[in-house]
Structure 1
Amino acid sequence: MVGLKLIAWKDRANETTPDALDLFFLFKHYTKAGNDNRIWDEAPVLLQSCDHDTDLIGAVLLGFDCRIILGEDVVRTILSIIEDQGLRDKLVLHMARDPIESSEAAIKYLQKFEQGLRVQTLE
């Protein structure tokens, strides 16, 4: 779903769509979607690098899971979107449209998601 949402967002980046807000929601709530035990079982090393913020760890886990499930071609497509500075800035701006979220938070979650996409192992 995340891969589809990100690619759909890119295709409609000049329009107002819920895709970026949906992505932000998924980044923030992946831990609570049945992945909380994974932090302790699979990825305790992430606690320090994410300042013990389990929601940020969830964004790393989501990226890692996407990398495994979606395959290299789709991951390359996703990374090409994230690596394009203009698209990245626009995505952050669209993610931060939620009145209770800031651009700073959107940047953090996107960075952690990207980290998860790039790692080979969570150890």
Structure 2
Amino acid sequence: MAIYTGSNKHLGGTETVTRKQTVFYGLVQKNVLVTGANGQLGQELKQLAEKTNSPFRFIYTDADVLDITDAGQVQHFVSEYSIEYVINCAAYTAVDKAEADEEVAYRINCTGAENLARSG
């Protein structure tokens, strides 16, 4: 499973994220969904976030866990994990393949981004 929390532990493993938010230095910790966590941008963001003392709990996902082209699945995930913010690093980046399979590229790059934007 490719969902990670800010401490880079798998959900369902040693740490789980629930609706109950964690207190961080007197502030309620906000959950941030990061899609495309296994891609180049997502991995860089994960490395940076792990180096900082952030008041946010980052929840990292990839396509095997969250299909951003499925509006219902996105809405359920955002609700289930009390997501406050979304950073979309998911994208169809294979340019040559995107030209041959425009529908898939559009669903990921456009519809997926729209589903994330409308989920809140």
Question: What is the TM-score when the length of structure 2 is the normalising length?
Answer: 0.37
Select the structure of larger CA radius of gyration: 2
Determine which structure has the larger helix proportion and give its number. 1
Determine which structure has the larger strand proportion and give its number. 2
